Amino acid sequence: MKLVDANIIIRFLTNDHKRKATSCRKLFESVVKGKVALFITDMTIAEVVWVLEKVYKCHRQEIRLKIEAICNTPNLHFQNKELILESIILYDLRNIDFIDAYHAAFMNKEGIKEIYSYDTHFNRLTELVRLEP
């Protein structure tokens, strides 16, 4: 198994550099066919979301669809696939930063209901209670 970095996923998703995008597409085709095993960390997905949003100015729904497609690619291995999928939905539907959405999804998974934060985005998540020290 090999780790895949965010820039490979970005080239594949954006097709912004034709030669590199073609190579990345071929790599992912090899993964789907089971010839190559790739592992993607949560941090890699966070970086992909950030770059698509801030650099490529993609809309949240477009980013969500791209991340869901990556997560549903056969033979790709993830650190926390279900957590990523829940996070990307919160990111899109609740209009919060991806990292905040990840924290909310993690809290839900662990049964944690309260978070200390000055970030008022957490107020959009009625299932959580934001506390300030």
27-76 residue pLDDT tens: 999 999 999 999 999 999 999 999 999 999 999 999 999 999 999 999 99
Q: Nearest-5° angle of CA 77, CA 78, CA 82?
A: 125
Q: Nearest-5° angle of CA 33, CA 43, CA 45?
A: 50
Is residue 118 in a domain?
A: no
The domain of 36 spans 2-79
Is residue 15 in a domain?
A: yes
The domain tally of the chain equals: 1
Is residue 87 in a domain?
A: no
Is residue 40 in a domain?
A: yes
Is residue 124 in a domain?
A: no
pLDDT at 59: 97
Percent of the chain with pLDDT over 70: 100
Is residue 107 in a domain?
A: no
Q: Could you give phi then psi for residue 38, rounded to 5 degrees?
A: -120, 145
The token pair at 84 is: 């990523």
Mean confidence (pLDDT) of the chain: 96
